[in-house]
Structure 1
Amino acid sequence: MDAHAQVREGGEPLLTIGDFAARARLSPKALRLYDRLGLLTPAYVDESTGYRHYRPAQVEHARMVVLLRRLGMPLADIAATVRLDGEQAGRAVAAYWADVEERHAEQRTLVGYLRGRLSERGFEMYAKDFEVKTVDVPEQHVICESRHVLSEELPVWIDASTRRLEEAAESECGGMADSPFVVYHAEVTQDSDGPAEACVPVRDAAAARAWAQKAGRERGTSYRVEPARRIAYTRITKAQVSYPQILGAFEAVEAWVAREGLKVTGPCREIYFVEWDTAGPEDQVCDVAFPVGE
Structure 2
Amino acid sequence: MDDELLTIGVFAARARLSAKALRLYDRLGLLRPAQVDEASGYRYYRADQVERARLVALLRQLDMPLARVAEVVEAPDGAMAAERLAAYWADVEARVAGQRTLAEYLRERLSGRSSEMYGKFEVETVDVPERVLITETRHVLAGELPAWIGASLGRLEEGARECGGITAAPFVVYHSDVSMESDGPAESCVPVADEAAARAWVERQGRARDTKVRVEPAHRLAYTRIAKAQVAHPQILAAFEAVEEWIPKQGLWQAGPCREVYFADWDTAGAEDPVCDVAFPVR
**Is this a same-fold pair by TM over 0.5?**
yes
The CA distance in 1 between the partners of 2:186 and 2:44, in whole Å, is 52
**RMSD of aligned alpha carbons:** 1.6
Alpha-carbon shift at residue 233 of structure 1 (Å)? 0.6
Alpha-carbon shift at residue 230 of structure 1 (Å)? 1.2
Q: Secondary structure, in 3 states, of the residue corresponding to 1:57?
A: helix
CA contact (8 A) 1:141 1:201 kept: yes
Alpha-carbon shift at residue 97 of structure 1 (Å)? 1.1
Q: Secondary structure, in 3 states, of the residue corresponding to 2:267?
A: helix
**1:64-79 → structure 2 map (5 Å cutoff):** 64-79=55-70
Distance 1:70 1:222, change over 3 A: same
Partner of 1:101: 93
The CA distance in 1 between the partners of 2:49 and 2:263, in whole Å, is 54
CA contact (8 A) 2:141 2:181 kept: yes
Partner of 2:166: 176
What is the one-letter code of the residue matched to 2:17? L
**Any idea what the Cα deviations from partners look like across 1:89-129, whole Å, max 9, x if unmatched?**
111111111111111111111111112211221x2242122
Q: Secondary structure, in 3 states, of the residue corresponding to 1:50?
A: coil
Moved over 6 A (4+): none
**Any idea what the Cα deviations from partners look like across 1:224-272, whole Å, max 9, x if unmatched?**
1111111111111122112221111001111111111111111110011
CA contact (8 A) 1:184 1:194 kept: yes
The CA distance in 2 between the partners of 1:160 and 1:55, in whole Å, is 49
Partner of 2:195: 205
CA contact (8 A) 1:216 1:222 kept: no
**1:18-29 → structure 2 map (5 Å cutoff):** 18-29=9-20
Alpha-carbon shift at residue 48 of structure 1 (Å)? 1.2
Alpha-carbon shift at residue 221 of structure 1 (Å)? 0.5
CA contact (8 A) 1:162 1:198 kept: yes
Partner of 2:229: 239
The CA distance in 2 between the partners of 1:177 and 1:96, in whole Å, is 42
The CA distance in 2 between the partners of 1:117 and 1:31, in whole Å, is 46
**2:22 is equivalent to residue 31 of structure 1:** yes
Unaligned runs of 5+ in 2: none
Alpha-carbon shift at residue 278 of structure 1 (Å)? 3.0
CA contact (8 A) 1:175 1:202 kept: yes
More displaced 10-residue stretch of structure 1: 275-284 or 234-243: 275-284
CA contact (8 A) 2:15 2:50 kept: yes
How many residues align? The count is 282
The CA distance in 2 between the partners of 1:232 and 1:164, in whole Å, is 28
Partner of 2:147: 156
Partner of 1:3: none
Distance 1:125 1:113, change over 3 A: farther
Q: Secondary structure, in 3 states, of the residue corresponding to 2:193?
A: coil
Alpha-carbon shift at residue 57 of structure 1 (Å)? 2.3
Q: Which of 103, 112, 116 is the equivalent residue of 2:108? A: 116
TM-score by length of 1: 0.91
Unaligned runs of 5+ in 1: 1-7
The CA distance in 2 between the partners of 1:276 and 1:47, in whole Å, is 61
TM-score by length of 2: 0.95
More displaced 10-residue stretch of structure 1: 194-203 or 48-57: 48-57
